[in-house]
Amino acid sequence: MEKTILSVRNLCAGYKNYRILDGINLDIERGKIYSIIGPNGCGKTTLIRAMSRNLRPESGEVLLDGKDIFRTNTKLVAQKMAVLCQNDTSMSDITVKTLVEYGRYAHKKWWAGSDGDDKSIVEWAIERTGMTKLQNRKINALSGGERQRARIAMAIAQKPEIMLLDEPTTYLDIAHQLEIMELVAALSREERITVVMVLHDMNHAARYSDKLVLVNNSKIHTIGTPNELIENGELENVFCVEAEILSDTEDNSPVFYAKRKKQ
């Protein structure tokens, strides 16, 4: 099996006349956790939308196992890649279980119902995300954290090799943020799912990722391990802040504490 699962080649993308990404190259290694970070408006969300085939690029390509995702049957892509997008506007009144069952859509033929495999995978996904007690609850009656877990259950029901998440912890309180981050990290570790996510919280990104992808001004500024990026001062430059690098008393991992905006 190739080491690289998803690769972005010379990608340029944008909306209407604005070019937001300009010549992005990125190789995602199988089994690892990547966090895309960068200041507002740098193109993080645009990058993950292009990587998840939700935004057609102006030029360049996105290859999943060597195949262009914009030229592959979207169902075949969904059998390998699950996407958790940010703007979930649906006011759907379906139950958690039904939502998770939709995760099996890409693996079904249109004339066939759920087979035994589908049922056991749905059950597994619900249990794995701790949603068993809530599985008959309607989506619109869930709290923010529960809803996010339900959507993760839907994503892992796809049995993906790679999962893309756009700001999975936005609007959650700190306990639920950690809950989601730990769930994602555990899924990556135990189910061998490659993870690429857009995150706002630098320290969550540093704590849970193998690699950080720092995006700035339409380009990839640096790719590196959390230690490298925090210690070489690039984060301070890109975000225009003065920061103190503390160290976690438990495991000595670096903590990025932004003190003030750079003058």
Partner 1 sequence: MEKTAFRETTSFKVIVLVVLAAAVVFAFILGNVVGTMDISVSDIVNTISGDHTGTNNKVIWNIRLPRMILAALVGINLALSGSILQGVMKNPLADPSIIGISSGAGLFGILILVVFPQWQNLVPIVAFAGAMLAAVIIYLLAWKGGIDPTRIVLSGVAVSELFGAGISAILVFYSDRVHGALTFMNGSLSSRSWGEVRTILPYTIAGLLLALIFADKLNILVLGDDTARGLGLNVELTRLGFTALAALLAASAVSVVGLLGFVGLIVPHSIRLILGNNYKIMFPATALLGAALVMLSDTFARTVLSPTEIPVGIVMAVLGVPFFLYLLRK
Q: Where along the sequence are the contacts to partner 1 (CB under 8 A)?
A: 49, 52-54, 74-79, 81-85, 87-90, 92-95, 98-99, 102-103, 105-106, 110-111, 132-137, 154-155, 158
What's the min distance (Å) between Cβ of 104 and partner 1? Answer: 9
CB of 186 to partner 1, least distance (A): 21
Tokens of 12: 């340029």
For the chain, how big is the Rg over CA atoms in Å? Answer: 19
Nearer to partner 1, 104 or 207 (CB): 104
Identity of the residue, 102 or 257, whose beta carbon is nearer to partner 1 in the bound complex: 102
Dist CA 231 CA 223 (whole Å): 13
Is 56 in contact with 219 (CB distance < 8 Å)? no
Minimum CB–partner distance for residue 91 and partner 1 (Å): 9
Instruction: Quickly list DSSP for 193-247.
Output: -EEEEE-S-HHHHHHH-SEEEEEETTEEEEEE-HHHHHHTTHHHHHHTEEEEEEE
Nearest CA to 97 out of 120, 121, 124, 126 is that of 126
**CB 139 → partner 1: shortest distance, Å?**
9
CB of 79 to partner 1, least distance (A): 7
Task: Tell me the C-alpha to C-alpha distance, in Å, between residue 145 and each of 16, 18, 131, 156, 181.
Answer: 34, 34, 11, 17, 11
Between 151 and 211, CB nearer to partner 1: 151
Nearer to partner 1, 75 or 189 (CB): 75
Q: 253, 207 in Cβ contact below 8 A?
A: yes
Kindly tell me which of 105 and 124 has the beta carbon lying closer to partner 1. Answer: 105
